[in-house]
């Protein structure tokens, strides 16, 4: 194989192909879960905002470690990792800065300036699973620097693959974002979807960036890693999928607990829509959900009438 050719999808020697093969089950599971949860979050802006916030901390932790390795590699494995990263990592991939721009819009009411938002992000106490994931990222990469390559494939390429579809969905759900009198809904969405945007120069530029990323990653990791390191990266890749599942589930549980403590229209719509998206219901369960839906709508009407009169 030429040293300048991207390995084919059937080339089992390529690290990314091995990661894809060994995480196929986890990929399908998180893909189904994220599909349902993302569709649900599109109906509840406060949940979507929590998800963006959670991934800010995750990507920020990864990029802190990447910066540390690129700028101050000292151990033999850090130098090895630095040499690999330099073959494909460029600033366009950095997500934490782009997510911060989205948070500026999503938290504009609470934190109207960048300084106040940065203070909030620095002082915010994360839920347990989110904090554990951040700690796992830092400690794992410090212990085995080449493990950062698991995140470079699993998380960043996932955004490349799904980001465009997510942006398209958001343009059809403009009510997800705050309203601004001097901006159209489409302009607001554009300002609030930096997380999923890798180039301001359009789809062709993004496609080229993705191609260069994959090519550089594959060629650098093919010869630059030992088999033992590759096996460790595979295990970390599996863990990244597990952490994603736990974080998404934690966000759902936090909202469920908070909303169940008070009867409100938000609670009623939250519960009803979550039940609507429950998977693999039996016929009796579906009948129960339908019946509960009718009851919930009656309760919603009653509650709104009490507020009006």
Binding residues for heme b: 27
Report the half-sphere exposure of 152 (CA within 13 A, side-chain side): 30
For residue 265, give the nearest of 296, 222, 241 by alpha carbon: 296
CB 220 within 8 A of CB 110: no
Residue 96 sits at the vertex; the CA angle it makes with 197 and 247, to the nearest 5 degrees, is 95
Residue 203 CA, chain-centre distance (Å), reads: 20
For residue 195, give the nearest of 162, 243, 171, 217 by alpha carbon: 162
Q: Exposed, middle or buried by CB within 10 Å (0-12, 13-18, 19+), for 260?
A: exposed
Alpha carbons 271 and 44: distance in angstroms, whole number? 12
| Residues flagged as binding site | 27
């Amino acid at each position: 194989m030429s040293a300048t050719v991207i390995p084919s999808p059937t080339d089992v020697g390529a690290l990314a192909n091995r990661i894809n093969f060994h995480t196929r089950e986890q990929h399908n599971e998180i893909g189904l879960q994220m599909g349902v949860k993302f569709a649900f979050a599109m109906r509840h802006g406060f949940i979507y905002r929590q998800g963006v916030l959670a991934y800010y901390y995750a990507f920020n932790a990864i990029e802190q470690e990447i910066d540390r390795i690129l700028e101050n590699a000292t151990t033999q494995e850090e130098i090895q990792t630095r040499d690999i990263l330099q073959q494909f990592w460029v600033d366009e991939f950095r997500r934490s800065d782009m997510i911060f721009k989205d948070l500026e819009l999503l938290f504009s009411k609470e934190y109207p300036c960048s300084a106040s938002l940065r203070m909030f992000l620095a002082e915010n106490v994360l839920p347990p699973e989110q904090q554990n994931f951040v700690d796992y990222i830092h400690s794992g990469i410090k212990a085995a620097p080449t493990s950062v390559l698991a995140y470079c494939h699993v998380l960043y390429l996932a955004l490349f693959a799904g980001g465009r579809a997510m942006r398209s969905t958001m343009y059809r759900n403009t009510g997800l974002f705050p309203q601004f009198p001097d901006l159209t809904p489409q302009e607001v969405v554009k300002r609030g979807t930096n997380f999923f945007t890798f180039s301001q120069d359009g789809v062709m530029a993004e496609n080229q960036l993705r191609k260069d990323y994959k090519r550089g990653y594959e060629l650098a990791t093919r010869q630059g890693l030992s088999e033992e390191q590759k096996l460790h990266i595979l295990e970390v890749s599996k863990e990244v999928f597990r952490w994603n599942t736990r974080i998404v589930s934690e966000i759902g549980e936090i909202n469920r607990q908070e909303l169940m403590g008070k009867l409100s229209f938000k609670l009623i719509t939250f519960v009803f829509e979550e039940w609507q998206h429950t998977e693999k219901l039996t016929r009796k369960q579906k009948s129960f959900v339908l019946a509960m839906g009718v009851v919930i709508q009656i309760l919603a009407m009653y509650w709104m009438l009490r507020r009006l009169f």
